[in-house]
Amino acid sequence: MYFFVNDYNSICYPEILDALRESMDESNVGYGFDSHSERARDLIKKALGDEDVFIRFIPGGTPANILGLTCGMRQQDSIFSLATGHVKGHEAGSIEATGLKLELIHKDGGKLSVADLKEAMKDFGSEYQSHPKKVYISNTTELGEVYKRKEIEEIYDFCKENDMYLFIDGARIAAALASEKCDYSLADLTKMCDIFYLGGTKAGFLFGEALIIKNDKLKEDFLNLEKQKGAMLAKGFISGIMWERVFEDPEFYLKGSKDAFAMAKKLSQGFEEKGFSLAYPFESNQVFVLMDDKDVERLREFAGFETMGKKDGKNICRFVTTFRTSPGDVEGFLEKL
């Protein structure tokens, strides 16, 4: 069975397991204040080229989004997000459960733009509405798109002009940085938003994300919020060991994502060569293909993948590659196809 269901379908890089084994006999303090976590933070700051950031290791993407979107917010504040945003349809109302409101923007595609925000802002400004205070985007988007540098900078400029914060969901930011479409590097990220996270769960880690806060206002009382939301691990040193090992080599964090991109590119080209149409342009490790019901049924016999609704009367089928996807996997699948 060829497996393209998601990008978190295996345990982790063997190097991470080795690092955990090497630390097996240690005794560490808890809650992310151990020496491994401190060194990991220093290594990430060095890679980012920014010593003025606050970093915490969070167990997963949903708590990272909750913390990233709720820090620095009042009850009357709200968050702009596209209706296709991950926090809208994939997290069981986690943001609304905090008492904050998602103000949804509807459009085709998964990228938010300044034009979208300007149009949305026309409906706000009185005591009858919530007070937009933060903007949510994900990179890559839910449709596998990669934001260009100018697109993010324009959104960030708009946020600063309107006394708002920009939060980037980085569950797949390694996939974005590894894409041929990307025109910025890891070291540019702290200049492009107020708060974001580096995804680990979907980038070869056992679990976890590194939440990075640039704006000083959002750092205030963050540890209290992290504890309140159940995201402060007692055994935080496990996260520290993983991030420390990966960032000991500046190239390691993106290595697997670059391999995943290469395999996704090979996969997307193979689909098109065999006469299938892509539902969305190929830009990252997610490949969306249009298929009729008969093709879906046939492929289910030898491949794992997800269907994501309909477009032009056909099924949108998503195929995702990982750091473990090999040329043999892709070639074998395409030959079977």
Tens of pLDDT, residue by residue over 266-315, are 999 999 999 999 999 999 999 999 999 999 999 999 999 999 999 999 99
What number is the average pLDDT over the span 18-36? 98
What number is the average pLDDT over the span 196-220? 98
Between CA 333 and CA 304 the distance in angstroms is 11
Q: How many CB atoms lie within 10 A of CB 71?
A: 24
Collapsed DSSP state (helix, strand, coil) of residue 48: helix
Tens of pLDDT, residue by residue over 43-80, are 999 999 999 999 999 999 999 999 999 999 999 999 99
Confidence label for 16 from pLDDT (cuts 50, 70 and 90): very high
pLDDT at 148: 98
Q: Is 312 left (phi over 0), alpha (psi -120 to 50) or beta?
A: left
Percentage of the chain modeled with pLDDT above 90: 99
Tens of pLDDT, residue by residue over 156-201, are 999 999 999 999 999 999 999 999 999 999 999 999 999 999 999 9
| pTM of the full structure | 0.97
What number is the average pLDDT over the span 148-155? 98
Between CA 34 and CA 32 the distance in angstroms is 6
Percentage of the chain modeled with pLDDT above 70: 100
Q: Are strands 165-169 and 286-291 parallel, antiparallel or unpaired?
A: unpaired
For residue 126, with 0-12 CB atoms within 10 Å meaning exposed, 13-18 middle and 19 or more buried, which class applies?
exposed
Confidence label for 34 from pLDDT (cuts 50, 70 and 90): very high
Residue with tokens 């109302």, as numbered in its chain:
93
Q: Is the pLDDT of residue 250 over 90?
A: no
For residue 55, the cross-strand partners are 212
List the structure tokens of 96: 């609304």
Tens of pLDDT, residue by residue over 88-107, are 989 999 999 999 999 999 99
Between CA 136 and CA 115 the distance in angstroms is 15
